[in-house]
């Protein structure tokens, strides 16, 4: 085992951190033009197409290096929401095109999605189907050589600014794993509308909204992979997302941990720095231990992704570990700052941004179900005589 990243990767991460700290500071209000400008800058840095092959305009990074890049992005930028949008675009929407798209689909979409010219959104969650992803109500009905999409999606990251939507719909209602199909739908297609942007407590720099489909026409050549393979496409995208996207939180946690250590060294009470009090120092050590443990689990999952492992346990455990560590580290950072912790600042921002991480990409409870199922727990067995 080698826990050190190669020198060229470390140099690239340092450049990403410098760029993010300089160009991606949090904004007080969302502006679509400003968002697009920042997205273009991130594209020039190779971030929005980090794991896309070079032949299609991407940086061609493997999963471990892509995770390191996202970690650097999270460490350098205090706008975790924007970083989240970049990662959701890349891992949930673009990588499915890389892995399942036809050559024509790759040539059409990947160069612009990798350069920062265009933005992608992944449409899966519905008002009545969040964790129960195999029972979507959005329908795709065959209509003489094409399909008509009807239904709605919610909590869709990047929806207000997206140029293409990767949409999961039921082509065989009640068909279970083989009843879903993935479609590529261009923004502006008749019948496709995007709702008002959400006003959220956390991840404020990431625009999200509902998406509505009213007889939206899509051709057979807009299907990703094949009809009935939507669940496979979704599962593959979640492996990338549950691993590489959560590296952003590792970077954000490290940044807040560093500032917390600096704070407890400087803040004095009873004539001494509070970092000298055992109750404080032990809490800081716990913060560090959680971060280090979560980081090791995430990079183990990323390494498995690079090897083509079919393991579903490592990504699920990594997602659980990072999200739970981020929430607890945010709570600790606020506590150690005292009243300053509840004022506007990076400690309370981390906490607000971390709470949703236990929900998206499949709730942590669902991840535990997935791990239990992989272990064979809960499966029906023949009754003993």
pLDDT over 80 at 384, yes or no:
no
Cβ atoms < 10 Å from Cβ of 377? 9
pLDDT over 90 at 130, yes or no:
no
Burial of 28 (0-12, 13-18, 19+ CB in 10 A): exposed
128 DSSP 8-state letter: T
State the Cα torsion 38-347-323-258 to the nearest 10°: 90
pLDDT over 80 at 379, yes or no:
no
Alpha carbon distance 80, 350 (integer Å): 8
Q: Residue range 300-327: average pLDDT? A: 96
Alpha carbon distance 122, 237 (integer Å): 10
Predicted confidence at residue 380, as pLDDT, reads 58
8 Å CB contact between 290 and 335: no
Q: Which pLDDT tens digit goes with each residue over 194-253?
A: 999 999 999 999 999 999 999 999 999 999 999 999 999 999 999 999 999 999 999 999
Q: Which pLDDT tens digit goes with each residue over 163-177?
A: 999 999 999 988 878
Distances, alpha carbon 380 to alpha carbons 73, 135, 303, 361, 369, in Å: 45, 23, 33, 27, 15
pLDDT over 80 at 378, yes or no:
no
pLDDT over 90 at 98, yes or no:
yes
Domains identified in the chain and CATH numbers: 7-119 (1.10.540.10), 121-228 (2.40.110.10), 246-374 (1.20.140.10)
pLDDT over 50 at 385, yes or no:
no
359 DSSP 8-state letter: T
Q: Which pLDDT tens digit goes with each residue over 343-357?
A: 999 999 999 999 999
Predicted confidence at residue 225, as pLDDT, reads 93
Per-chain mean pLDDT for the chain: 95
pLDDT over 70 at 101, yes or no:
yes
Predicted confidence at residue 306, as pLDDT, reads 95
Q: Which pLDDT tens digit goes with each residue over 10-45?
A: 999 999 999 999 999 999 899 999 999 999 999 999
Handedness of CA 54, 311, 133, 70 (dihedral sign): negative
Active site residues: 241
8 Å CB contact between 374 and 317: no
Q: Which of 25, 57, 53 is nearest to 43 (CA)?
A: 57
Structure token digits, residue 313: 């346990």
pTM for this one? 0.94
8 Å CB contact between 318 and 370: no
């Amino acid at each position: 085992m080698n826990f050190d990243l190669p020198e060229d990767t470390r140099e690239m991460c340092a450049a990403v951190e410098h760029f993010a700290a300089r160009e991606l500071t949090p904004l007080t209000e969302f502006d679509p033009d400003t968002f697009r400008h920042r997205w273009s800058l991130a594209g020039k840095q190779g971030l929005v197409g980090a794991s896309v092959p070079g032949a299609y305009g991407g940086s061609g990074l493997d999963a471990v290096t892509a995770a390191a890049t996202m970690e650097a992005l999270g460490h350098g930028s205090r706008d975790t929401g924007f970083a989240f949008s970049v990662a959701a675009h890349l891992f949930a929407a673009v990588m499915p095109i890389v892995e399942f798209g036809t050559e024509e689909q790759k040539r059409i979409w990947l160069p612009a999605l990798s350069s920062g010219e265009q933005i992608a959104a992944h449409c899966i969650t519905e008002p009545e189907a969040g964790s129960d992803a195999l029972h979507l109500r959005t329908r795709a009905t065959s209509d003489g050589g094409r399909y008509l999409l009807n239904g709605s999606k919610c909590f869709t990251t990047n929806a207000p600014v997206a140029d293409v939507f990767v949409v999961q719909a039921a082509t065989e209602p009640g068909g279970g794993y083989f009843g879903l199909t993935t479609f590529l739908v261009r923004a502006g297609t008749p019948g496709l509308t995007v709702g008002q942007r959400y006003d959220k407590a956390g991840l404020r720099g990431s625009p999200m909204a509902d998406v509505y489909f009213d007889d939206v026409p899509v051709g057979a050549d807009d299907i990703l992979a094949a009809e009935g393979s939507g669940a496979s496409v979704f599962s593959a995208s979640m492996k990338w997302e549950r691993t590489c996207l959560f590296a952003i939180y590792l970077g954000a946690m490290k940044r807040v941990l560093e500032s917390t250590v600096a704070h407890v060294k400087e803040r004095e009470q009873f004539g001494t720095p509070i970092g000298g009090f055992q109750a404080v120092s032990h809490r800081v050590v716990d913060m560090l231990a959680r971060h280090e443990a979560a980081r090791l689990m995430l990079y183990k999952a990323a390494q498995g992704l690079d090897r083509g492992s079919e393991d579903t346990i490592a990504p699920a455990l990594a997602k659980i570990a990072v999200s739970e560590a981020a929430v607890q580290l945010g709570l600790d950072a606020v506590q150690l700052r005292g009243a300053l912790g509840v004022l506007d600042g990076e400690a309370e921002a981390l906490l607000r941004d971390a709470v949703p991480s236990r929900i998206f990409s499949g709730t942590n409870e669902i991840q535990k179900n997935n791990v239990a199922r992989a272990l064979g727990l809960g499966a029906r067995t023949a009754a003993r005589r």
